Structure 1
Amino acid sequence: MLCVFCLGGCLGSFANAAAMRLIRDEDIIYQASRCRACKRPLHILENLPFIGWLRKRGMCHCGTLKLPYRYIMVELVFAGLIVIYALTLPVMTAIGFSIAAIFIGISMLTDAEAMILHPTLLSILAIIGLVFAVIGSVSPNMGLATLTSWHLAPVEALWGFAVGALTPLSINLLYRLIRGQNGFGEGDFWMLGAIGAWTGWQGALSILVLAAASAALCGLFMILTGKASILTRLPFGIFLGGVFILWSIFLM
């Protein structure tokens, strides 16, 4: 489990880096990690999850920038999440939802930082969900049912994507007719559609309702504490992604 924990930390570190690069329209695959202040490439110890942050107590090598605690917290959350998947889910399901967690985590971070949800990233997530559903449906014929079991049939995944995307879109159109403005951002359609490809249409609707309730409670708390007003926009992708992760742990 120690290796799985470390792998989860690496995935969290990648999610942190990928999210910040997407916000800045930078390459997330081939570009080497570097210090944001002096642009010096980071060496291997600085890139290691947990250790890289703790060695300098969150400071960059040149001492100019201090990285927020969010960086190490994301690494710890990913590490714990992947361990939970490995202990509780079938092999293929654990691998699949670990991959989904990377995409969801990146999306949550970009939404939190800049209220951006990338349709391309979420489209890839939806396609991967459909691919896992297809593999799970054909593998029993190949004698691999135990290893590659999946909780959705391809049709269920397609319906999940369609209902997940069209439900907030329909609600948003109605809201625009009544209020003359959007109630959801465009990225929310893509995110719930992608989630539906992994959870089915029932899961997508449940996650939408729970995310909306969570956002409403959070908004009410912020209003009562004077940290927001009734017009304050919240990054809804955080709530969708958070409920999806809880769904994958407790409701699968």
Structure 2
Amino acid sequence: MQKSIADSIKKHKQQPNLKFRLKETAEKFTDTLFYTLFDAETPVDENMEKLAATFEDLVDLACWNVKKPCSKVWENYLAKLPQILELLNLDAKAFVEDDPAALSKEEVYLCYPGFYAIAIYRLAHELYETGFPLVPRLMTEYAHRLTGVDINPGAKIGKSFFIDHATGIVIGETAVIKNHVRIYQGVTLGALYVAKNLKNVKRHPTIENNVTIYANATILGGDTVIGENSVIGGNVWLTKSIPANSVVSHTPDIKIKTVTNE
């Protein structure tokens, strides 16, 4: 009986390239990258060798399409790591400057889930740009699981990005976020609707420089542009563009009744 069940399972396993070791290896690669860039006790030179070896494993596991030149990606990616680190240091500086609770950059690197999510996004985005299969998404989904922040590696995010409290944030694949943008928990930068024929269409909004988006705001649509220096209040729902220097607020109908005991 056991053999017949096993044979039946084998018959229905239809994805010959689905190896969950790829997910585990991508997470190992992500952790090693993060420690290499930030941990003072991690030897950089030694870890570069480890990263190269792990990347070779990723090539073997992810690049089953022989037309993808995956083996040539590593050296180009390695050369971009200093630039990525420079951007991440600007992000950390933005956290310290924008959050009165942040006492040091060390606290940001160690404690802030928003910074971790941004870091893994930036590290994944470079691989996404090269067309490296699956691994960028696995990296950002790993960060999503750890932080509650879902940033698609295809999004384009500028300098000095600040995410406060982090949990519940969603940033879609074709979103564009420019410089010095601040986002709070629960914000969604999403699409108006989902359809497979929109694969190569800009579906998510553009956020211009120096915009602040407060908690639980939802901004949808590829044609939606939030003008620079604007402030989007909490719980706002936007599907149309707004000009620069705007303040958008949501005013709920709140009624408070006080009962007195006589």
Work out which of the two has the higher radius of gyration on C-alpha atoms and give 1 or 2.
2
Question: Using CA pairs below 8 Å that are at least 6 residues apart, which structure has the higher relative contact order?
Answer: 1
Name the structure with the higher strand share. 2
The normalised TM-score by structure 2 is 0.30
> Normalising by structure 1, what TM-score?
0.31
